[in-house]
Amino acid sequence: MIPFRIHSGRVALLDRANVDTDQIVPKQFLKRIERTGFGAFLFHDWRYLPDGEPNPSFSLNHPRYRGASILVTGKNFGCGSSREHAPWALVDFGFRAIIAPSFADIFANNCLKNGLLPVVLGDTQVAKLGARARENEDYEVTVNLEECTVTDSQGFSSVFAIEEFQRQCLLDGLDDIGLTLHLEAEIAAYEIKRPAWIR
């Protein structure tokens, strides 16, 4: 996993609530057997018109959001299907952090496993960032995981919460399978006690 420490980048606004993973990566693209290359399909049915042309009214197609690496969006982002293809697509597209009032559980978990930081801020803060992204060309923020802050050059500053363990894993880019494998003795001891009929 790529470590996440401090990241500054352009902000893109997707002003919708309850964006589900079917929208993030529509199912017709779930047939690949690799982890890479999903960025091309990100928000496909919103980004492209039925004839394959980019949809000019979809916010991520606005030239001002080109190259954005931080997504600001509405509550309950990533609800629905557990497909990890959703964070893979966001990462592949170039996003490093998503800022929203809340996230669906499985999605947030999947993001953390892929070095994509889900940042929960209050409704008013998210609305403020959204308004600034809408009003300012080249609007940038800095997400600092060492200090758990989101800041911009216009004086915005907000602290966010994240589990300490997850923060450490992201900061160090740790593979948590490796961590679990170190607990082999405990796993083996647990297995001996399991009921016979499910062994």
Partner 1 sequence: MPSTLFEKLWNAHVVHEQAGQPSLLYIDLHLLHEVTSPQAFAGLRAAARGVRRPNLTFATADHNVPTTNRALPIADPIAAIQIETLAQNCREFNIQLFDFNSAEQGIVHVIGPELGLTQPGMTVVCGDSHTSTHGHGAFGALAFGIGTTEVEHVLATQCVPQNKPRTMLIQTKGHLPEGVSAKDLALGIIGQIGTDGATGHVIEYAGEAVCSLSMEGRMTLCNMSIEAGARAGMVAPDDQTFHYLQGRPFAPSGAERDAALAYWQTFKTDPGAAFDQVVEIDAATLEPFVTWGTSPGMVVPISGNVPDPRAGRTAAERGSTERALEYMALAPHTSIENISIDRVFIGSCTNARLEDLRAAARVVNGYRISRSVKAMVVPGSQNVKRAAEAEGIDQVFREAGFEWREPGCSMCLGMKPDILKAGERCASTSNRNFEGRQGRGGRTHLVSPMMAAAAAISGHFTDVRKWEFKE
Toward partner 1, which CB reaches closer, 63 or 197? 197
Say whether residue 28 binds partner 1 (CB under 8 A).
yes
- Given a contact cutoff of 8 angstroms between Cβ atoms, the answer to whether 126 and 72 are in contact is yes
Nearest 10 degrees: Cα torsion 72, 133, 160, 75: -30
DSSP 96: -
DSSP per-residue letters across 18-79: S-BHHHHS-GGGTT-SSSS-GGGGTTHHHHB-TTSSB-TTSGGGSGGGTT--EEEE-SSBTB
Toward partner 1, which CB reaches closer, 60 or 152? 60
Site for partner 1 in 108-137 (CB under 8 A): 109-110, 113-114
Say whether residue 102 binds partner 1 (CB under 8 A).
yes
Compute the least distance from the CB of residue 3 to partner 1, in Å: 16
Report the residue from 6, 30, 40, 159 that binds partner 1 according to the rule CB under 8 A: 30
Compute the half-sphere exposure of residue 26: CA atoms within 13 Å on the CB side of its CA.
Answer: 9
Measured from the Cβ of residue 126, the count of other Cβ atoms closer than 10 Å reads 24
Toward partner 1, which CB reaches closer, 154 or 180? 180
Compute the least distance from the CB of residue 12 to partner 1, in Å: 19
Query: Which among 145, 129, 155, 173 is positioned nearest to 10, based on CA atoms?
Result: 129
Q: How many residues bind partner 1, per CB under 8 A?
A: 52
Report the residue from 43, 68, 83, 158 that binds partner 1 according to the rule CB under 8 A: 83
Residues 6+ positions from 42 with CB-CB distance below 8 Å: 24, 25, 60, 89, 90, 92, 93
Site for partner 1 in 158-177 (CB under 8 A): 163-165, 176-177
Say whether residue 192 binds partner 1 (CB under 8 A).
no
Q: Which residues bind partner 1 (CB under 8 A)?
A: 16-18, 20, 22-23, 26-28, 30-35, 45, 50, 74-76, 79-84, 87, 102, 104-106, 109-110, 113-114, 163-165, 176-177, 180-181, 183, 186-187, 190-191, 194-198
